């Protein structure tokens, strides 16, 4: 197959989930259209539209910094690349049959992100400006960068394709696109539709309103319901819907602007998002350049009113957004145009390699809409939830279960396998049921006597590893220390599911002699778990353990104690610890260990 320069994997915005997707690969373009100056942007859009109407495919982007090409009042930073870029293709290629294999070590060395104090200071400025009536909402964002180092000496293009594949696994569905312009690679797995324009009918679908996914099916449904009915989230959504209605009306036939759907909730791997639809019939003679002039940038990533919001963005954000928050899309033969809002989007640029291999600079942005009802802690948490897809895609990890093996019998084997299978489903790992059973059978037969700790690992493609280690006798009582700071990742998928990715736990590893483990708490000052097991607390005469919604691993030993009636779920605040009359460390391998808290 020829070298791939673009991939488009877009949902059909006019049909329900499960409908065929617009899914094409593209090789060598017949020509490139690009705008390096603001005065050239409209011309590039018109040329791309003309090529599509003549039968070609056009795939490309418009940078956020192209906004002044349509309205000089829209404030932006200077651009760091072409303002608009489109590749023209005479035909498509088949979608690659096999996924692009991930490199040997697809990890990114991320540089420190925006400090919480800087974040709070920015929100304080926005809150004051909103109170003063300068604007209603601003979409505040921050860029994060890092180096992706590939020990396998993979080519720059292959590295980008591999990372795009990993991003799609972490953030499936939506409006995904891969572009290799030669200078940079754009890897977009955006869930947000900017607009779809075909046969004179325009559909926009702004995404505004976010809630984290729940730790259990019941909690997850409750989070979605809370999002749908949240006055703050609904107000945030309506502000942008009103802005889009106004923008769309500039190119719409009279009385054709409609809002057929409000407050639709969409499930993504780490968050629930709220969308609404704004539709219209465009006026005769309307061009793609006219559509961009009316809508760009999408109001969901600026705020309202757009001019004032973008002025605030220019003042607060220290650098250009780039393709992030611009538009990435495809023009089909005949002229149908579909563009995403490139959130959940990375750019990859290569520079000189080092002794360890080829180094690529990776950048992505994360943001949220700030209104008068925004609370810094909640917005900060939203940022963490939104960027989970990046952590998953750029982290090499395996699924993990640790089982007790006593005299050839694996303790609670079926429960451990069920938990691992749930994790495999969540992360998209191949599930090799028979191979796992065989590996456990083999290790049990090989260790027919004594007490052992079995470490069971599952790789992305279904690779199975099982090892046994001697299990020392459990102490009669263990000493726990209380964490000195909250576990900010308490609601991460790497807490809800057991994997080998544990830096968030390793940071709390006890260093004092005699301390067995650390008792953790979340940013709401609620007790959660220990780093290697769950916690049971005797509070006001009843043994309780924190519910999963506090942010903890659903331990097998914990589940058994709940099923036996030995434990019930209850939220326990850190301030309540003086009222706790007894503690126990709980996991399936050690069982129930009496514990005490270090002074």
- Quickly count: other Cβ atoms within 10 Å of residue 3's Cβ: 11
Catalytic residue among 192, 233, 489, 493: 192
In a domain, 502, yes or no: yes
pLDDT in the model for residue 499: 97
Backbone angles phi, psi at 560, to 5 degrees: -65, -40
Distance CA 599, CA 379 (A): 34
pLDDT in the model for residue 393: 87
Asked about 498 being catalytic, the answer comes back as no
Q: What is the mean pLDDT of the chain?
A: 92
Instruction: Inform me whether the pLDDT recorded for 153 exceeds 70.
Output: no
Final residue of a structural domain among 368, 393, 418:
393
In a domain, 1, yes or no: no
| SS3 annotation, 43-111 | HHHHHHHHHHHCCCEEEEEECHHHHHHCCCCCCCCCCCCCCEEEEEECCCECCCCCCCCCCCCCEEEEC
pLDDT in the model for residue 243: 94
Distance CA 435, CA 321 (A): 47
- The mean pLDDT of 360-375, rounded to a whole number, is 91
In a domain, 227, yes or no: yes
CATH code for the domain in which residue 564 is found = 3.20.10.10
Final residue of a structural domain among 341, 368, 393:
393
Instruction: Inform me whether the pLDDT recorded for 151 exceeds 60.
Output: no
In a domain, 302, yes or no: yes
Domain match, 432 and 492 both: no
How is residue 152 annotated by DSSP?
T
Domain that holds residue 121: 6-393
Contact call for residues 206 and 300 (beta carbons, < 8 A): yes
In a domain, 41, yes or no: yes
For 25-75, what is each residue's pLDDT tens digit? 999 999 999 999 999 999 999 999 999 999 999 999 999 999 999 999 999
Catalytic residue among 49, 208, 306, 317: 208
CATH code for the domain in which residue 464 is found = 3.30.470.10
Instruction: Inform me whether the pLDDT recorded for 102 exceeds 60.
Output: no
Length of the chain: 599
Distance CA 282, CA 252 (A): 4
In a domain, 420, yes or no: yes
Exposure of 514 by Cβ count < 10 A (0-12 exposed, 13-18 middle, 19+ buried)? Answer: exposed
- Label residue 16 by pLDDT band (50, 70, 90): low
**Opening angle at CA 235, ends 341 and 321, nearest 5:** 30
Domain match, 214 and 336 both: yes
Domain match, 370 and 409 both: no
Domain match, 300 and 445 both: no
Domain match, 449 and 483 both: no
Instruction: Inform me whether the pLDDT recorded for 353 exceeds 80.
Output: no
Domain match, 409 and 373 both: no
- Quickly count: other Cβ atoms within 10 Å of residue 448's Cβ: 10
Domain match, 408 and 283 both: no
Instruction: Inform me whether the pLDDT recorded for 100 exceeds 50.
Output: no
Asked about 484 being catalytic, the answer comes back as no
Distance CA 413, CA 409 (A): 9
Residue 91 Cα to chain centre, angstroms = 32
Beta strand pairing status for 580-587 and 345-354? unpaired
Domain match, 284 and 316 both: yes
Look at residue 451 and give its three-state secondary structure. Answer: strand
Exposure of 314 by Cβ count < 10 A (0-12 exposed, 13-18 middle, 19+ buried)? Answer: middle
- The mean pLDDT of 127-135, rounded to a whole number, is 95
pLDDT in the model for residue 332: 98
Smallest CA-to-CA distance from 69 within 326, 387, 375, 282 is with 326
Domain match, 152 and 206 both: yes
Q: How many domains does the chain have?
A: 3
- The mean pLDDT of 241-254, rounded to a whole number, is 96
- Quickly count: other Cβ atoms within 10 Å of residue 598's Cβ: 14
- Label residue 222 by pLDDT band (50, 70, 90): very high
Instruction: Inform me whether the pLDDT recorded for 1 exceeds 70.
Output: no
- The mean pLDDT of 504-532, rounded to a whole number, is 96
pLDDT in the model for residue 349: 84
- The mean pLDDT of 391-395, rounded to a whole number, is 86
* Radius of gyration of the chain from its Cα atoms, rounded to whole angstroms: 26
Domain match, 418 and 376 both: no
Distance CA 394, CA 108 (A): 6
Check residues 457 and 210 and name the one with the higher pLDDT. 457
pLDDT in the model for residue 95: 86
In a domain, 379, yes or no: yes
Final residue of a structural domain among 446, 470, 494:
470
Beta strand pairing status for 107-110 and 137-150? antiparallel
In a domain, 317, yes or no: yes
CATH code for the domain in which residue 166 is found = 3.60.120.10
Backbone angles phi, psi at 221, to 5 degrees: -65, -35
pLDDT in the model for residue 149: 67
Quick one: what percent of the chain has pLDDT higher than 90? 79
For 306-324, what is each residue's pLDDT tens digit? 999 999 999 999 999 999 9
Cα of first residue to Cα of last residue in the chain, in angstroms, is 66
- Label residue 93 by pLDDT band (50, 70, 90): very high
Domain match, 590 and 497 both: yes
Domain match, 466 and 484 both: no
């Amino acid at each position: 197959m020829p070298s791939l320069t673009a991939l488009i994997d877009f949902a059909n915005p006019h049909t329900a989930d499960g409908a065929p997707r617009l899914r094409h690969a593209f090789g060598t373009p017949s020509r490139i259209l690009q705008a390096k100056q603001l005065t050239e942007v409209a011309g590039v859009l018109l040329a791309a539209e003309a090529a599509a109407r003549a039968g070609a495919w056009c795939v490309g982007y418009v940078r956020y910094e192209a906004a002044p090409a349509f309205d000089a009042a829209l404030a932006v930073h200077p651009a760091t690349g072409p303002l608009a870029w489109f590749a023209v293709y005479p035909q498509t290629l088949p979608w690659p049959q096999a996924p692009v294999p991930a490199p040997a070590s697809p990890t990114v060395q991320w540089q420190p992100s925006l400090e919480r104090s800087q974040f709070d200071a920015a929100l304080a400025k926005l809150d004051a400006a909103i109170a003063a009536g300068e604007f209603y909402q601003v979409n505040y964002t921050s860029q994060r960068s890092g180096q992706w180092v590939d020990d396998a000496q993979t080519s720059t293009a292959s590295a980008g394709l591999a990372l795009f594949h990993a991003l799609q696994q972490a953030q499936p569905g939506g409006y995904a696109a891969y572009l290799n312009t030669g200078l940079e690679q754009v890897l977009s797995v955006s869930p947000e539709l900017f607009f779809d324009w075909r046969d004179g009918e325009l559909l926009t679908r702004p995404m505004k309103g976010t809630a984290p996914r729940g730790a259990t099916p019941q909690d997850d449904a409750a989070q979605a319901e809370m999002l749908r009915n949240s006055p703050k989230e609904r107000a945030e959504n309506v502000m942008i819907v009103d802005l889009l209605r106004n923008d769309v009306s500039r190119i719409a036939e009279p009385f054709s602007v409609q809002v057929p759907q409000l407050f639709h909730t969409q499930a993504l791997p780490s968050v629930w998002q709220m969308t609404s639809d704004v539709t219209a019939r465009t006026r005769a003679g309307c061009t793609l350049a006219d559509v961009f002039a009316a809508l760009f940038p999408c109001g969901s990533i600026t705020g309202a009113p757009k001019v004032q919001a973008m002025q605030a963005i220019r003042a607060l954000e220290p650098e250009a957004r780039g393709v992030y928050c611009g538009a990435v899309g495809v023009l089909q033969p005949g002229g149908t145009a579909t563009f995403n809002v490139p959130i959940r989007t990375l750019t990859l640029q290569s520079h000189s390699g080092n002794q360890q291999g080829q180094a690529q600079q990776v950048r992505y942005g994360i943001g949220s809409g700030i209104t008068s009802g925004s609370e810094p802690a909640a917005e900060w948490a939203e940022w963490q939830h939104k960027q989970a897809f990046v952590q998953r895609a750029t982290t090499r990890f395996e699924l993990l279960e640790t089982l007790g093996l006593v005299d050839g019998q694996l303790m609670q084997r079926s429960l451990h396998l069920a938990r691992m299978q749930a994790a495999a489903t969540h992360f998209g790992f191949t599930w090799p049921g028979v191979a796992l059973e065989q590996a456990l059978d083999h290790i049990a037969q090989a260790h027919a006597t004594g007490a052992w700790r079995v470490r069971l690992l599952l790789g992305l493609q279904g690779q199975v590893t099982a090892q046994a280690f001697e299990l020392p006798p459990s102490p009669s009582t263990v000493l726990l220390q209380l964490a000195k700071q909250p576990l900010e990742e308490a609601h991460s998928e790497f807490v809800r599911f057991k994997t080998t990715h544990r830096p968030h736990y390793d940071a709390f590893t006890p260093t004092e002699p005699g301390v067995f483990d650390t008792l953790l708490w979340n940013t709401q000052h609620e007790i959660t778990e220990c780093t290697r097991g769950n916690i049971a607390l005797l509070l006001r005469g009843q043994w309780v353990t924190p519910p999963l919604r506090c942010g903890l691993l659903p331990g097998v030993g914990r589940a058994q104690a709940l099923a036996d009636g030995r434990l019930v779920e209850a939220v326990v605040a850190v301030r309540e610890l003086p009222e706790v009359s007894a503690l126990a460390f709980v996991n399936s391998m050690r069982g129930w260990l009496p514990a005490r808290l270090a002074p």
